[in-house]
Amino acid sequence: MIYRSGGGTMTGNKWLLLLLFIGSQARASLLPSASGGGSMELGLVRGHSWSVEGDGGPKLELTREVLRHDVNRYKMIISAKHRRESAPMTRRKAWEEDYLNGNAWMEAPMTAGRDYGIGEYVVQVKVGTPPKKFWLIADTGSDLTWMRCLYDHQKPRRGHRPGVLLPAKSSTFATIPCSSHTCKVDLMNLFSLSRCPTPSSPCAYDFRYTDGSFAKGIFAYETISVDLTSSGPKKLERMLIGCSEIIKGQTLQPVDGVLGLANSEYSFTARAAREFGGKFSYCLVDHLSHKNLSNHLTFGSRPQSRSPLLGDMQYTKLVLGRPLNPLYGVDILGISVGGTILGIPVQVWAPNSGGGTVIDSGTSLTLLAAPAYRLIFGALEASLSRYKKVDEKLSPLKYCFDSTGFNESLIPRLGIHFKDGAVFEPQVKSYVIDAAPGIKCLGLLSVSWPGVSVIGNILQQNHLWEFNLAKGKLGFAPSSCIYI
């Protein structure tokens, strides 16, 4: 996600919540695991953005207002490109030397968030001493891990949700003084506030999102507990967290906070990857799945037997550092539809020419720079035009139709071709999506050019994705993502 604080733009939480939950409120959940030296998986809960009926589950309506959140999230992603001038590339060699125990791994269950009414995946982590469970959105664009918190309180306020950190009850919670170099210099990129009533007062932050949501609180160090797959519990001590006392905004209400997975020295990823072999991965179950279908977010070397692959693992270069930092960029050569490479200008894929592409767990739809979108839409329009176009407008989705008699085998396959030869072919259901009962839409959005394109989590579904930070590679392969 990407934040705005005060007058500045912030990146860390690129929120683009696509769903509007209609019905009873539900919570997202995930379980964290620990590892002491190689791999760790954190449970994710996947949200979705459509209305589904007939199976007794809650209904989610894809509306104009909901899609507005995705557009806002994109604005945050764009702002991230300009916010960070420094990049972690200089740390790569040191990271390769520092990564520990490449054979160990940590995992936790991941399930779809349709039952929770949110558009992201959620992981359950245990924070504090003694450890307490929190349901946090897993966000590859967020630097900071933060959760609901009541600083100076011995117990939650009456009527307050259970997922609240009580620092007074944790023996390992330690504030960061506002007079410290850490607060005044190191955390400025995470939007620490300049106010400092006394030298020992906690370092404060105010995260503002483009949709009007915000989180205010203080920075602290705390212990996060994980469960190793091989040797039991492990504690990640003195992890930087945010203790958010004031949280406003509909998109932030279903969960307890955010797990920062960005390519940043302050993110959860930086510490966990260093502990578990320099890599993390996730396998996204179908976005319409119920929470009883699980997979995992993993840190370390994930055994393939956990999620059988349906094809060979392919690898492509991760584009890390500026101008896309702290997001995870990829080098795209072009896009094909039905096996034919489209004539998309090469500048669309070039980060230093106003373009570039990132892969993002927190954006649901896939957002394409206008020159790419126009050609892709044109190539798909003929196969979609055989179905009756609906009058109701689910703006900003450009093309929606009555799905009666829909046959996905008649839809040309989309292919994303990377410069080093790898090709990602998502399933048709990942770009021709269910938007409402009896209605499908082309699940791609056009964004202005110049601008960054975003591979959203719906396009990523039913694939295993491995982010190898030590080697600067992204691996992917089709999978049912059914955990065994």
| Residue 431 region by backbone torsions, left for phi larger than 0, else alpha for psi between -120 and 50, else beta | alpha
**Token pair 């469970």: residue:** 133
Rounded distance, CA 276 to CA 278, Å?
6
- 437: three-class secondary structure by DSSP: coil
CB 450 within 8 A of CB 355: yes
Three-state SS for 146-198 is EEEECCCCCCCCCCCCCCCECHHHCCCCEECECCCHHHHCHHHHHCECCCCCC
Helix (H) / strand (E) containing 18: none
Of the residues 211, 256, 286, 360, which is catalytic? Answer: 360
Is 360 an annotated catalytic residue?
yes
Active site annotation includes 186:
no
Backbone angles phi, psi at 424, to 5 degrees: -100, 120
> What does 84-111 look like in DSSP terms, one character per residue?
----GGGGHHHHHHH---TT-EEEEEEE
Q: In angstroms, rounded to a whole number, what is the distance separating the alpha carbons of residues 341 and 224?
A: 47
Choice among 139, 256, 331, 434 that is catalytic? 139
| Element spanning 117, H or E | none
Helix (H, G, I), strand (E, B) or coil at 131: coil
Token output for 362: 């927190």
The residues annotated with a catalytic role in the active site are 139, 360
